[in-house]
Amino acid sequence: MKRIIFPLDVSQKNDAIDFVKLLKDEVEIFKIGLELFCKYGPEILNDISKLNVKIFLDLKLHDIPNTVYGAVKNLLNFNPFFITIHLEEYEKFRKFVFDKTNFKGFLGVTWLTSLDENSLHFLTENKNMSVIDFVLKKAEIYYKSGCCGIVCSAHEAKKVKEKFGNKLKIVCPGIRLSESSSDDQERIMTPEKAIKNGADFLVIGRPIREANDPLGICRKINAEINENLG
Ligand code: C5P
């Protein structure tokens, strides 16, 4: 199994299809997010799944259980591999969403990798709250709800792995080939370190998409990952 998840963060359907065709041998899962989905709707899911690849639907669903259930029921017609969700509690969601849909591919969003600890202090009005404590709390909610995994930065992956072992898949965005990258991501890490920290999947967008040779970069990252997996 490969570990790269490639986000199709492009505005044109044809560009997304071209990336899937180019990278499908080196990428495990293709992520469709808000940009493409808001432009093309579910039609984009049909077009990408025709290319026989796994789809990660990153719509970060966040609403009352009954509304999320209605949305998920419709999305399951397109056979996604993962769907992202935000939860603050687990009992109602387990009962009204997870048990009713019986879908096993929910990933819980913990703390966006574009946010740092200051944003968490501002939100919670608690200067003692650390990102790792917050992520572990959210991970517990996601585990108890029936999610198969969580999305977190590779900086938290190690502690999550220590606490949950293989009970939760760890999906890490904020991956950069060098630690000095400066875009909107805050808590970044290289693929090598992220895998050593226990990440199961790496979401890598711009470092691949903006490279002169996206396929070559994917091959290089896969080789590096395999080395670190021993
Ligand atoms: O281009 P880049 O590698 O930063 O892309 C990261 C992708 O992962 C984007 O599609 C972004 O929406 C997504 N993501 C993230 N942080 C999260 C969850 C998802 O960056 N916590």
pLDDT digits (tens, 9 = 90+) for 165-179: 999 999 999 999 987
Amino acid at 205: G
Q: Which member of 60, 144, 158, 193 is catalytic?
A: 60
Q: Which CATH class is domain 4-228?
A: alpha beta
Nearest CA to ligand 1 atom 2: 205
Asked if residue 108 has its Cβ within 6 Å of ligand 1, the reply is: no
The closest-lying atom of ligand 1 relative to the alpha carbon of residue 204 is 3
Asked if residue 173 has its Cβ within 6 Å of ligand 1, the reply is: yes
Model confidence, pTM: 0.94
Residue given tokens 């026989």 in the structure block: 52
Residue given tokens 């200051």 in the structure block: 118
Instruction: Give the C-alpha separation, 123 to 120, whole Å.
Output: 5
pLDDT score at 178: 83
* 180 has a pLDDT exceeding 80: no
Higher pLDDT, 217 or 128: 217
Instruction: Give the C-alpha separation, 164 to 139, whole Å.
Output: 9
pLDDT digits (tens, 9 = 90+) for 95-146: 999 999 999 999 999 988 788 889 999 988 889 889 999 999 999 999 999 9
Q: What are phi and psi of 4, to 5 degrees?
A: -85, 130
